[in-house]
């Protein structure tokens, strides 16, 4: 397929393709991190993860509308405010959901699955009633549109770079939180041995709520970031949820590092195959490989070794 192209053209395309793979990687990381820490901590599979992301997107939409109406001078910077708001709104709703619903269902994984799925339907319908069934367009400040012209052929989309930076920041922040803070120590203790952690005085219910809120908050940030590249509508969250589960399960459902490795593997495989095959076939092949590896390693790539 490369007949008739000069080597410099090919180099540029490969550079851009590498960038495409990396930006897919950061999208996957953003999607999956929130889900991973919730699952790792509490064994709860949050089927409403996609809807929390869309809540973040709608928060961004409302923030952008607010800035346009009342603070047009600061519109260029509204996105940073929106990200923080998206985190807070989603985390608050997450804490509420944990308190009302999830905490009554611990140790009943199938019931949490159903309950959070029901929650996702309720949230979708709520969006439809509040914002209308049509997708909303989120206006972006001018500086976030367009691309960096690196060479004549190589253009790097600014929003792709931006998503990468957010993903990196959250991954680093999460690492510091989990491995360098008192809260993180408690979380890891609860994950490894809940009764023992409780016996030494860790408030595991409080840790659970904080973790659920944190996971939902990260979903909100992801949703805010995705307004740059995707659609914002009542059922847009559904588009992300399958990939998210794929990444989390493949990575070994409880390991943050595993999630990142798995996101990298899947994104590179997919974007490379997409380049040589049609998009649908690339997806099929990626799924086949993942299924094959999971048959050999049912725990996923990096399972946390825990004594059971």
Any contact of residue 235 with other proteins (CB under 8 A)? Answer: yes
One of 88, 92, 113, 239 touching other proteins (CB under 8 A) = 239
Minimum Å distance from CB 211 to other proteins? Answer: 27
Looking at beta carbons only, is 133 or 165 nearer to other proteins?
Answer: 133
Any contact of residue 187 with other proteins (CB under 8 A)? Answer: no
Looking at beta carbons only, is 143 or 179 nearer to other proteins?
Answer: 143
Q: Exposure of 183 by Cβ count < 10 A (0-12 exposed, 13-18 middle, 19+ buried)?
A: middle
Strands 147-149 and 155-157: antiparallel
One of 111, 278, 288, 292 touching other proteins (CB under 8 A) = 278
Within 8 A by CB and 6+ apart from 100, the residues are none
CA 50 – CA 240 distance, rounded (Å): 6
Looking at beta carbons only, is 153 or 202 nearer to other proteins?
Answer: 153
- Joined together, the tokens standing for residue 136 give 């909303």
CA angle 53, 161, 23 (to 5 degrees): 65
Looking at beta carbons only, is 176 or 277 nearer to other proteins?
Answer: 277
One of 13, 178, 202, 269 touching other proteins (CB under 8 A) = 13
Within 8 A by CB and 6+ apart from 263, the residues are 25, 28, 29, 32, 247, 251
* Cα-to-chain-centroid distance, residue 193: 27
**Contacts to other proteins from residues 207-226, by CB under 8 A:** 226
- Joined together, the tokens standing for residue 287 give 């799924």
**Contacts to other proteins from residues 105-134, by CB under 8 A:** 121-122, 125, 128-129, 132-134
Instruction: List own/partner pairs for 290-293 with CB under 8 A and 24 or more apart.
Output: 290/246, 290/250, 290/266, 293/250
Any contact of residue 283 with other proteins (CB under 8 A)? Answer: yes
One of 20, 33, 82, 167 touching other proteins (CB under 8 A) = 20
Any contact of residue 68 with other proteins (CB under 8 A)? Answer: no
Minimum Å distance from CB 34 to other proteins? Answer: 17
**Contacts to other proteins from residues 21-40, by CB under 8 A:** 23-24, 27
**How many residues bind other proteins, per CB under 8 A?**
53
One of 146, 173, 206, 292 touching other proteins (CB under 8 A) = 146
Any contact of residue 19 with other proteins (CB under 8 A)? Answer: yes
Q: Which stretch binds other proteins (CB under 8 A): 68-76, 106-114, 165-173, 269-277?
A: 269-277
Conformational region of residue 66, where left means phi above 0, alpha means psi within -120 to 50, and beta covers everything else: alpha
Q: Which stretch binds other proteins (CB under 8 A): 32-40, 86-94, 253-261, 270-278?
A: 270-278
CA 193 – CA 302 distance, rounded (Å): 19
Looking at beta carbons only, is 103 or 128 nearer to other proteins?
Answer: 128
Tally of residues, the chain: 308
Looking at beta carbons only, is 11 or 257 nearer to other proteins?
Answer: 11
305 in helix, strand or coil? coil
Minimum Å distance from CB 9 to other proteins? Answer: 8
CA 63 – CA 10 distance, rounded (Å): 42
Minimum Å distance from CB 98 to other proteins? Answer: 22
One of 42, 274, 301, 302 touching other proteins (CB under 8 A) = 274
CA angle 62, 64, 70 (to 5 degrees): 100
């Amino acid at each position: 397929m490369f007949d008739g192209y000069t080597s410099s053209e090919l180099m540029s395309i490969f550079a851009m393709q590498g960038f495409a793979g990396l930006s897919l990687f950061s999208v996957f990381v953003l999607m999956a991190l929130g889900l991973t820490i919730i699952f790792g901590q509490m064994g709860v599979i949050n089927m409403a993860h996609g809807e929390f992301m869309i809540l973040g997107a709608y928060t961004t939409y409302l923030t952008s509308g607010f800035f346009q109406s009342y603070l047009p001078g600061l519109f260029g910077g509204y996105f940073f405010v929106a990200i923080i708001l998206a985190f807070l709104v989603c985390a608050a709703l997450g804490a509420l959901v944990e308190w009302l619903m999830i905490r009554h269902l611990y140790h009943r994984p199938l019931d949490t699955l159903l309950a959070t799925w029901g929650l996702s339907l309720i949230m979708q319908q709520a969006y439809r009633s509040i914002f209308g069934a049509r997708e909303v367009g989120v206006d972006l400040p001018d500086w976030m549109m367009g691309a960096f012209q690196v060479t004549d052929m190589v253009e790097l989309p600014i929003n792709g770079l931006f998503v990468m930076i957010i993903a990196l920041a959250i991954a680093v922040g999460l690492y510091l939180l989990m491995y360098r803070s008192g809260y993180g120590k408690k979380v890891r203790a609860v994950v490894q041995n809940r009764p023992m952690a409780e016996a030494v005085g860790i408030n595991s219910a409080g840790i659970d709520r904080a973790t659920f809120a944190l996971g939902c908050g990260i979903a909100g940030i992801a949703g805010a970031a995705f307004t740059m590249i995707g659609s914002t509508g009542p059922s847009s969250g559904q588009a992300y949820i399958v990939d998210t589960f794929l990444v989390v399960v493949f990575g070994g459902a409880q390991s943050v590092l595993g999630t990142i490795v798995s996101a990298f593997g899947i994104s590179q495989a997919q974007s490379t195959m997409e380049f040589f095959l049609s998009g649908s076939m690339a997806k099929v092949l990626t799924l086949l490989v993942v299924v094959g590896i999971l048959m050999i390693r049912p725990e996923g790539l990096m399972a946390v070794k825990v004594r059971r």
